[in-house]
């Protein structure tokens, strides 16, 4: 099995900071920030059993978050992007 195929099966990839932040907020692991493209980065987030449900709830506005914790997560992700 190639790494790329393994990544597609076990990781959710997105360039959307908000989606990445939501998944990390709900205990997903941000495995990698791919900065190969200078115009955007790709987040690789380890999938869990509830990844699809969380994404569905996100797109249907059914998630509640604690703002301070969410802001701290976004700051940490941005730190990983820029450092």
Q: Which residue has the higher pLDDT, 44 or 9?
A: 44
User: Tens digits of per-residue pLDDT, 51-79?
Assistant: 999 999 999 999 999 999 999 999 999 99
CA gap 5, 72 in Å, rounded: 32
Whether the CB-CB separation of 36 and 50 falls below 8 Å is answered with: no
Distance CA 81, CA 52 (A): 25
Instruction: Give the number of C-alpha atoms closer than 13 A to the C-alpha of residue 71, restricted to the C-beta side.
Output: 3
* pTM for the full predicted model: 0.87
Contact (CB, 8 A) for 1 and 36: no
Q: Which residue has the higher pLDDT, 26 or 2?
A: 26
Percentage with pLDDT > 90 across the chain? 84
pLDDT score, position 83: 86
């Amino acid at each position: 099995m190639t790494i790329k195929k393994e990544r597609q099966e076990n990781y959710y990839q997105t360039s959307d900071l908000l989606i990445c932040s939501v998944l990390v907020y709900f205990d997903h692991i941000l495995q990698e920030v791919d900065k190969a493209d200078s115009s955007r980065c790709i987040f690789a987030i380890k999938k869990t059993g509830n990844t699809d449900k969380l994404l569905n709830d996100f797109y249907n506005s059914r998630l509640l978050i604690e703002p301070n914790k969410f802001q701290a997560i976004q700051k940490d992700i941005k730190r990983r992007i820029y450092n």
